[in-house]
Structure 1
């Protein structure tokens, strides 16, 4: 939907709009009925130390809701481009999440994306809040993307790891708080589109923290590093093939005086190949959370690694498409002298999207996650019942309608 200068004149912005080639209002409204069931079991049995222990069986937390974003993220945005001549163009992109099931979240912030850019034969320079390079591979190379009960399992795990030990500020939306997916204060460069199928980008986000000199005068518990992000993504897309490698380093938390820094390093490789009757997808990922300690405790560190793989397929069927994926992740807590097995999880997801038009679709999705050894990933809904219980299985479904404009 395009709004030209005559439309903006009514709001007193006609002078600014005269030089604007075009402004577009766009968005997605996605709503559905979703159900979740998260089962925990008691892993303990009678032992010599406690021969009369009676296993407590299982506990299930379930929920049914009117949901949003089961197929595509509900959002509203504005983007515009001005032709500067000589092959140059200036553009902006402002995009906000909306919770159309309750109406409680709307254009209160543009946390999904808020950028201004200059592009030409040299490529594009983009400034603002944008998508992280490694997150891009998660949704480009998973047939179910990062929405609904069938969300990419690697993305689920990476998001959870980005919040390990990191306090979440009250009142901050999940979109704004998800450091795994997006970064603020970013400068990015994108290669031009005329490179014979090759594409790429590099990103750097400023942490914008205060630094004290000399360092000994730094106030107690001051975070001087979190928010810094560096990343890049390079790929090749031509004909039926699309393949991309992405890397990132994300500083999640730091304490200057304690000399600790929590950093998340991610590298993933994704590929897709269109066979015609079906399109194949795949992704492998390695995520490392590393707590680096300097100062008096220099040399000691605490690492948590995650390895993930995903395979998927899209099969067109008439006006619709069947989407399916299988993924598994395994954690490594780097405990060489421990007999405790590391957590792992697997997910299977299946979905059908029926296109009523180019902009409107009905969809149905189901997914199941199996957790082992203390992994606690879920398809959504209420938290697992814990205490004496360990997360076991999570299942869910989405039935919904998506309309894009």
Structure 2
């Protein structure tokens, strides 16, 4: 049934592209396949063996010029497992499903979208961009926040070197793996601010996941020192059960031969109980075969994991 929906969407989008000369529709995605040995208990691991370091996906995005500097846009993104062809989530359009308007005043979109500042702030210090066994997503949101919000209204504005995002979403669990999602006490909200000056990039993000007490602040910085890109991040927040948490991340990547070497270290602590939740470091290398395809090998270790503290993923990724 899901694949019939996908074929119908492709046909519909093709019709839009033919009907309006000033419209554009792009098909994009990635396929990732390889060997994966995850970190964690057997429950957390899932199935090891053939899998993927980064989630495979296919998506459609497009814009239409409405005149007067105004345009409409949309983004649909489906996630799948390359080794089986199965969907990775209960939502068919797990990645994003948004439609909006943009002009000189910024953009306003509606639908399932990334939280404000996820890509621009929380992902910045992670050279593995929150994928595979080396993902630092838990340090970016403290395991308090989430990645996407359902039913979100998102405003974005860029003015020269400055950027801003603000979001409010439905009062339901923002990224539940089950449907229907359980209700939250309040509407999830978020705000992010960014600034770029040459090689220096600064960002700050605030997230209220929608509980009565939880919130998360995260600040990041990135710069270039010769061929090396250095980045760091620091976060503080509180869970809905009033547990105080703190995280920090340092990461770097540099070009080597025909690829890129990546290193990262992160620490997440329950400061209320003075307990380390996660302490993780990772090393990886991407060997570029072209602008769109590369081989990768990554190894990560979490000293606080209950079991299987070391994880590995080795594979091939193609982007289109």
Q: 1:225 to 1:34 in 2, by over 3 A?
A: closer
Q: Which runs of 5+ in 1 are unaligned?
A: 1-7, 41-60, 163-179, 210-222, 253-260, 292-302, 335-340, 372-376, 378-390
Match of 1:131 among 114, 124, 140: 114
Counterpart-to-counterpart distance in 1, 2:107 and 2:13: 30
Contact kept? 1:37, 1:62, Cα under 8 Å: no
Aligned position for 2:215: 265
Q: 1:27 to 1:120 in 2, by over 3 A?
A: same
Q: How many residues align?
A: 299
How high is the TM-score relative to the length of structure 1?
0.67
Counterpart-to-counterpart distance in 1, 2:28 and 2:278: 37
Q: 1:356 to 1:208 in 2, by over 3 A?
A: closer
Counterpart-to-counterpart distance in 2, 1:182 and 1:9: 24
Match of 1:314 among 253, 261, 283: 253
Matched, 1:246 2:205: yes
Match of 1:364 among 278, 297, 312: 297
Q: 1:12 to 1:230 in 2, by over 3 A?
A: closer
Match of 1:394 among 284, 309, 320: 309
Contact kept? 1:325, 1:348, Cα under 8 Å: yes
User: Cα RMSD (Å) of the superposition?
Assistant: 2.9
| CA drift at 1:14 | 3.7
Aligned position for 1:92: 74
Q: Secondary structure at the match of 1:133?
A: coil
Q: Secondary structure at the match of 2:142?
A: helix
Counterpart-to-counterpart distance in 2, 1:95 and 1:12: 13
| CA drift at 1:392 | 6.5
| CA drift at 1:226 | 4.4
Match of 2:57 among 28, 50, 75: 75
Counterpart-to-counterpart distance in 2, 1:67 and 1:227: 37
Match of 2:224 among 240, 258, 274: 274
Aligned position for 2:33: 31
Q: Secondary structure at the match of 1:251?
A: coil
Q: Which runs of 5+ in 2 are unaligned?
A: 1-8, 174-181
Q: Secondary structure at the match of 1:154?
A: helix
Q: How does 1:71-220 map to 2 (within 5 A)?
A: 72-105=54-87, 109-136=92-119, 137-152=121-136, 154-155=138-139, 158-159=142-143, 161=144, 180-192=146-158, 195-207=159-171
Contact kept? 1:370, 1:393, Cα under 8 Å: no
Contact kept? 1:199, 1:235, Cα under 8 Å: yes
Contact kept? 2:114, 2:149, Cα under 8 Å: yes
Matched, 1:237 2:196: yes
